[in-house]
Amino acid sequence: MLDRDGTLSVEKGYLCDPAELELIPGVLEGLKVLQKQGFGLVVISNQSGIGRGIVSRDVVEAVNARLRELLERQGVRLDGIYYCPHSPEQNCGCRKPSPMMIYQAARDLNFNPAESFVVGDKCSDVEMGKRANAVTILVLTGYGKQQPMQDRADFVAEDLRQAAAIIVQASQRYKSSD
């Protein structure tokens, strides 16, 4: 499970124009490694700009479609994109760090969250993964270098390319201990 803004794409605040979506260097390489190793790729993202009235749901959907398009052109397929449209003040049950979006993805795609990895650039990503008993990786892209959760994450990676290498290595370790 992967956060979108700051993990896959360059953090630009409330992205209002799909044409401005820009992949972070190393993202394509990292996703290709994971896909080649048979991992599912699911994006889980807070999109509070909808709840705050800054962007519409249609804009967020268009940005997500652009993300899919950029990745698919390079042979990378996302298995799903899940997002919370609420502002923090709405006190919903789906906003990260709640693991609700992970559980929804697990039901839809038939996987065990406790046998999964969560990669993100914020404390809320790490905390969401911890609550779902997933292995967590904080990437130092986006807001990652400013986050106090570096000691709480299972792993810290410079970027998604390094996170992918950690996932491959860690999953081999888990498989060999079965």
Q: List residues with catalytic annotation.
A: 3, 5
In whole angstroms, give the CA distance from residue 3 to residue 122: 9
Task: Using alpha carbons, select from 173, 168, 175 the residue that is nearest to residue 36.
Answer: 168
> How far, in Å, CA of 90 to CA of 140, rounded?
29
At CB < 8 A and 24+ separation, what contacts does 111-120 make?
Answer: 111/40, 115/174, 116/1, 117/1, 117/39, 117/167, 117/170, 117/171, 118/1, 118/2, 118/44, 119/1, 119/2, 119/3, 119/7, 119/157, 119/160, 119/163, 119/167, 120/2, 120/3, 120/6, 120/7
